Structure 1
Amino acid sequence: MKKKTKLLLNLALTLFFLIMIIVKGPNLNPLYSDGAFAWCFIFSSYVVLNFLIGLGGIRVTTDQSSHMSVSVDKNVKGIKTGITLLIIFWLLYFAVTVLSMPLFNYKAYRDQLGQPEISEFTETVQPLALNQLPVVDKALARELADKKVGENPGLGSQVVLGTPVIQKVNGKLVWVVPLEHSGFFKWLKNLDGSAGYIVVSATDVSDVDLVTDHKIKYQENAYLLDDLNRHVRLFEGGLFRGMTDYSFELDDDGVPYWVITTYKNRWLFSLPEASGVAIVNASTGETNYYGVDDLPEWVDRVQPEEFIMQQIQNQGAYVHGIFNFSNQDKFRTSQGNIIVYNGSDCYLFTGLTSVGSDESAIGFIMVDMVTKEPKMYQMSGATEMAAQQSAQGKVQQYGYSASFPMIINLDGKATYFMTLKDRAGLIKQYAFVSVSNYTNVGTGETIDSALRNFRQVMGSSNDGIITGQNAKEAEGKVYRIASEALGESITYKLILKEKPDQIFTISYDLSNELALTEPGDRVKINYMASGTGICIATAFDNLEFKQISDDESTAPAESSEAAESESSAE
């Protein structure tokens, strides 16, 4: 009877743990902290069950007064062995946890990121054309996606928005937002998957598309076997792998995938290091594992942001060891980071500031999100937070809030760019802020007008961008001219016969003569050379109108001379 009871209890406990594994989908690899804890807990449960209950270790007695007492018989065979093993397992777990701390191997913490390559910002960061500046941040992308869902009757009650992920798809910078089931019964009604996903352009607030060609069956918050974590852990070989950072990405054909970072610890239970990715087809569930060196070309990111930020922090905190009480040469990241693209490569970009400093940056660091190759830019200036506050101060009468700024190569200088939004989260203005001197701020209702204002501010300051080597002047005949509506603004694009390899972009409010300019007119343009073939005009003059004015001013004199000649003849 005792053996049968013991067997039933063990089966019940095993069933309980199997259910928990199916529900939670944990990491069961004992080389990770969570996996080791799980095994210690499971083993402890079996020990308690078998040695204290199943073997009679707990003795229940009742006296004549019907009082029940419980005692543990420490002499029961095996009880000492079980308790000894419990103590060993838990001591080992806590010992490894303590030894994983920086105190015992600070060099591993300090050196995990690797030695950054010291680079010149303007030599390694490509200039961006104005129409390629990312004006849509994560919050606005969610707002625009939510509005798109609301435009489709019936869809809003079926789905909720997942986490927007910025990425490049076929060379276009976009936010991709998966549509997820809004509840259990919505999932039950759509077992083949939710409607699809929404693509929001990062450079144009009016470019928002709902894509329904691909169902999203496997989701982070789905149910039963459609749950993404459960599917990968139980059926795709992930039960004993370190996995984190579930991001939704598209391949070049628009097929949706979940890209999950796999990682290993470099020192006991600490210093997680990305080793590759698990790529899960969001529609079919098909899963493939890749190392960092053999990724598909469309995968933009492998390194989790939290891994990189922590590694930068560790390098700054332990630069001279653990006991650096004077904070010599210590640095930390500024308050925030941003994902940027330099060409086709994805980077994490953040400022660096001295410990105790709030507004002054000692440099910036850019880390490749695939290879983890770091680049350091040793230039002093304002932190992102200081730049935000400076831009908000320029328009404080409106109460606008600035988005987290991105740093760009503008006219050969490092410059912050950000949007200024109202309380509803809508973009009202744009701002450029000098990194080297954050009091130099240019704002405007269009990017062109903000850039002109910024250049005027810089031209009147000691930085002197306008009078620098990038300031150029061109004169020639118009070969092509066309206008393009960008939001509430109009931009003219013009090509001169003398400079066929350059396109001049000119804001409509730069000159009233633009609307009257035609091919063949001789014009003069002041512009900023960018090295990309796209030149931003700072001044425009149609010389044909001056010639007409000169002709009209000489006409009366010629008429007067003719009249005098006729009078003399008479």
Structure 2
Amino acid sequence: MGNIILFALLVGLASALILIPFSKAEDQGRKMTSALLIAAIVLFTIGSFAFYYLFNLDRNLSSLWPLAILITLGGTIFAAGKERMIKGSLFVLTLLLGVYFLLAFLFNAEEKYESAKMTEKMEISTFDEKETPASVPPHFARNKMKKAFGQVPNTSYYELGNLQIQKVNGEYVYIAPVEFSGLFKWVNGKSTPGYFTISATDSSANPKFKKSDMIYTPSSFFNKNIERHIRMQYPESIFYGGTQLEIDDEGKPYYIRTFGEFISARNGFKVKGVVVVDPKSGDTKRYALADVPEFIDGAVSPEAVSLQNSYYGNYIHGFWNSLFGKKDVKLPSDEGTEAQVSPIFDENGEMYYFTDFTSPKEGVDSMLGYSLTNSRTGKATFYTGNLKESYMDSEGTMQIIEKKFIEKKWHGEMPILYNFYGEASWLTSVLDSNGFLQNYFIVSAANPEISAYGNTPNEALRKYKTALQHGGGTLDGSSKAEEKQTSGEVLRVYKEKTGDFTIVSILLDNKKNYIISSETNPLAIYVKEGDQVKITYMDTGETFLPVKELVIQGLE
């Protein structure tokens, strides 16, 4: 609190000295008295304190430029003679400074692009079939948490806070803090009781409430408000994006906020690190990105990543090109789940923010590429995709889902592009009008006519694999799975008609399950229990292993 009072006092003193005329004027009523000076200092000090406290603005001199223009203008008006010339010169300088700050975006677009420049590659690596993607949509997870809110003590005091995803003890979970529902509830409650967690991979999982008292929160007031508390500790720091809750592997919660620096002239933003706050004690620590604690997944805020994506997509040839010529301009989509980006995890458990880019031309749903930004380091990679193919963007995917389930009025949420079996594919959660999860939909980005859906991501993947086998996709062993061969006796057979073809599931005497489509092997429809068979399959590690070739002895 002391630093903001001192800052406000200095602002008040400087403002009074500039505004109050010192030169003798013909009108003696304008002569400054010591009482008037003191009153002006007090007035401007109180006003400056209120402004910076209420708006939580950084306390750098550069943040004073609007006030400086007003004060120097007033000082010029009230002064006379040489004093007016001096204060008039100050007014012109502050006015020019204000114009520079206001128009900086016209001239620093190239700097913004350079700060956001990404490494370019063609395709992301193939998805590991043994993994389960974090595919539970946040809207569905939030609905479940709300229904479990009765676990919270003094429920009427609180409401559910912002949802975010994190990896905790090797599991992907959504986290949402319990927040105060208003000023009077904060006065009575003093602290929030904890937070909710729920699996981000298992849609059948139920939310769990974790008790952990938190005093410094986004919904607290005055000096207990987490953002104001951080500002008090770091008055000159530049922050971008809101606070987020992260928990360590022991379940202890921390609030974090991304800080950085302006690109130039209080315009633009470049990430430098993160501030971490213990919400119970208020202890704060500041880390550079290279030193962020291991348990923190989202050191770079999604808002900062969204801003960097905008720089990279819009400013490749400067500001004016982004408005008029639009040469090579690509627009980041707004289909993300957090600030227009979607958090996902790779096979090593590292979190990235996913964004697809589309054409600025209206009515075009062709994707121009997609980016993955490391949420801890801020390093980004832009994937062009196979330049010989035309990929559908996330908006096109959502439209396909709406048309597919038009009678049921279902809609898609959280479209993410994966490399499934060597095919660029969109995985999207499908929700009904009440926000309940109905299924998972997968569609080829290059061949939208190839799609499948299932009750779980793995079921949808199995059906999609079959769709690729007879739909002209690229399922040719290009996944990470190793091609193997086996033989044995058929113990069980299950056949299911899918469109014009039959899906055959086989259990061999080696106690392993195999699956094949009659599209790729028409004779598979004749297999029966007791047959001796030779199988060439992909060892994906799944329950049902995809078969590339089936030979039934006696039918060669």
Q: What CA deviation, in whole Å up to 9, does each residue of 1:403-426 have, x standing for no partner?
A: 121122322322211121111100
CA shift at 1:161, angstroms? 1.1
Q: Secondary structure at the match of 1:101?
A: helix
Amino acid aligned to 2:342: I
The separation in 2 between residues aligned to 1:436 and 1:264, in whole angstroms, is: 40
Q: What CA deviation, in whole Å up to 9, does each residue of 1:257-291 have, x standing for no partner?
A: 11110110233322310010100112111100000
Structure 1 residues 293 and 7 mapped into 2: Cα distance closer, same or farther (>3 Å)? Answer: same
The separation in 2 between residues aligned to 1:464 and 1:155, in whole angstroms, is: 56
The separation in 2 between residues aligned to 1:523 and 1:257, in whole angstroms, is: 58
Amino acid aligned to 1:14: T
1:339 is matched with which residue? 343
The separation in 1 between residues aligned to 2:118 and 2:231, in whole angstroms, is: 35
1:68 is matched with which residue? none
CA shift at 1:87, angstroms? 3.1
Q: What CA deviation, in whole Å up to 9, does each residue of 1:117-156 have, x standing for no partner?
A: 324323xx542546x2223222222211111103x37543
CA shift at 1:208, angstroms? 3.5
The separation in 2 between residues aligned to 1:180 and 1:322, in whole angstroms, is: 41
**8 Å contact from structure 2 (residues 135, 457) kept in 1:** no
Q: 1:81-120, aligned counterparts within 5 Å?
A: 81-98=86-103, 100-102=104-106, 104-120=107-123
1:240 is matched with which residue? 236
CA shift at 1:80, angstroms? 4.4
The separation in 2 between residues aligned to 1:83 and 1:468, in whole angstroms, is: 72
Identify the range of structure 1 (384-393 vs 419-428) with the bigger mean alpha-carbon deviation.
384-393
1:133 is matched with which residue? 133
**8 Å contact from structure 1 (residues 529, 536) kept in 2:** no
Amino acid aligned to 2:139: A
1:205 is matched with which residue? 203
Structure 1 residues 96 and 19 mapped into 2: Cα distance closer, same or farther (>3 Å)? Answer: closer
2:267 is matched with which residue? 270
Q: Which has the larger radius of gyration?
A: 1
The separation in 2 between residues aligned to 1:243 and 1:395, in whole angstroms, is: 42
Q: Are 1:160 and 2:159 counterparts?
A: yes
**8 Å contact from structure 2 (residues 330, 359) kept in 1:** yes
Structure 1 residues 391 and 537 mapped into 2: Cα distance closer, same or farther (>3 Å)? Answer: farther
Q: Are 1:394 and 2:394 counterparts?
A: no
The separation in 2 between residues aligned to 1:398 and 1:77, in whole angstroms, is: 78
Instruction: Identify the match of residue 349 of structure 1 among 350, 354, 371.
Output: 354
Q: Secondary structure at the match of 1:299?
A: coil
Amino acid aligned to 2:194: G
1:29 is matched with which residue? 60
Structure 1 residues 442 and 155 mapped into 2: Cα distance closer, same or farther (>3 Å)? Answer: farther
Amino acid aligned to 1:20: F
Instruction: Identify the match of residue 369 of structure 1 among 369, 375, 396.
Output: 375
Structure 1 residues 445 and 141 mapped into 2: Cα distance closer, same or farther (>3 Å)? Answer: closer
**8 Å contact from structure 2 (residues 240, 304) kept in 1:** no
CA shift at 1:86, angstroms? 2.9
The separation in 2 between residues aligned to 1:463 and 1:205, in whole angstroms, is: 29
2:192 is matched with which residue? 194
Q: What CA deviation, in whole Å up to 9, does each residue of 1:507-533 have, x standing for no partner?
A: xxxxxxxxxxxxxx9999886543xx3
1:182 is matched with which residue? 181
1:556 is matched with which residue? none
2:503 is matched with which residue? none
**8 Å contact from structure 1 (residues 364, 377) kept in 2:** yes
Structure 1 residues 7 and 44 mapped into 2: Cα distance closer, same or farther (>3 Å)? Answer: same
2:421 is matched with which residue? 411
Amino acid aligned to 2:405: V
Q: 1:316-327, aligned counterparts within 5 Å?
A: 316-322=313-319, 324=321, 326-327=325-326
Q: Secondary structure at the match of 2:414?
A: coil
**8 Å contact from structure 1 (residues 129, 534) kept in 2:** yes
Structure 1 residues 456 and 206 mapped into 2: Cα distance closer, same or farther (>3 Å)? Answer: closer
1:217 is matched with which residue? 215
The separation in 2 between residues aligned to 1:448 and 1:205, in whole angstroms, is: 12
**8 Å contact from structure 2 (residues 331, 357) kept in 1:** yes
CA shift at 1:355, angstroms? 3.1
> TM-score when scaled to structure 2?
0.76
Instruction: Identify the match of residue 433 of structure 1 among 403, 422, 443.
Output: 443
Identify the range of structure 1 (365-374 vs 380-389) with the bigger mean alpha-carbon deviation.
365-374
2:254 is matched with which residue? 257
1:568 is matched with which residue? none
Structure 1 residues 398 and 467 mapped into 2: Cα distance closer, same or farther (>3 Å)? Answer: farther
> TM-score when scaled to structure 1?
0.74
CA shift at 1:114, angstroms? 2.3
Amino acid aligned to 1:4: A
Instruction: Identify the match of residue 431 of structure 2 among 408, 415, 421.
Output: 421
CA shift at 1:327, angstroms? 3.8
Amino acid aligned to 2:176: V
Q: Give 5+ residue unaligned stretches, structure 2.
A: 1-31, 336-340, 491-505, 516-530
1:9 is matched with which residue? 40
Amino acid aligned to 1:242: I
1:513 is matched with which residue? none
Instruction: Identify the match of residue 473 of structure 2 among 448, 463, 480.
Output: 463
Structure 1 residues 505 and 442 mapped into 2: Cα distance closer, same or farther (>3 Å)? Answer: same
**8 Å contact from structure 1 (residues 525, 537) kept in 2:** no
2:142 is matched with which residue? 142
Q: Are 1:41 and 2:59 counterparts?
A: no
**8 Å contact from structure 2 (residues 72, 88) kept in 1:** no
Instruction: Identify the match of residue 51 of structure 2 among 20, 28, 36.
Output: 20
Q: 1:504-543, aligned counterparts within 5 Å?
A: 528-530=538-540, 533-537=541-545
The separation in 2 between residues aligned to 1:468 and 1:87, in whole angstroms, is: 67
Amino acid aligned to 2:163: P
- Provide the aligned length of Structure 1 versus Structure 2: 478
The separation in 2 between residues aligned to 1:73 and 1:135, in whole angstroms, is: 65
Amino acid aligned to 2:140: L
The separation in 1 between residues aligned to 2:167 and 2:514, in whole angstroms, is: 25
Q: What CA deviation, in whole Å up to 9, does each residue of 1:161-199 have, x standing for no partner?
A: 1110111112211111011111222212222x1110001
1:296 is matched with which residue? 293
The separation in 1 between residues aligned to 2:210 and 2:165, in whole angstroms, is: 19
- In angstroms, what is the RMSD of aligned CA positions? 3.7
Q: Secondary structure at the match of 1:363?
A: strand
Q: What CA deviation, in whole Å up to 9, does each residue of 1:276-317 have, x standing for no partner?
A: 010011211110000011111111123333333333333333
Instruction: Identify the match of residue 461 of structure 2 among 451, 454, 457.
Output: 451
Calculate percent identity across the aligned residue pairs: 24
Structure 1 residues 247 and 428 mapped into 2: Cα distance closer, same or farther (>3 Å)? Answer: same
2:24 is matched with which residue? none
The separation in 2 between residues aligned to 1:224 and 1:167, in whole angstroms, is: 29
Q: Secondary structure at the match of 2:38?
A: helix
Q: Give 5+ residue unaligned stretches, structure 1.
A: 53-71, 479-493, 507-520, 540-545, 547-570
Identify the range of structure 1 (174-183 vs 262-271) with the bigger mean alpha-carbon deviation.
262-271
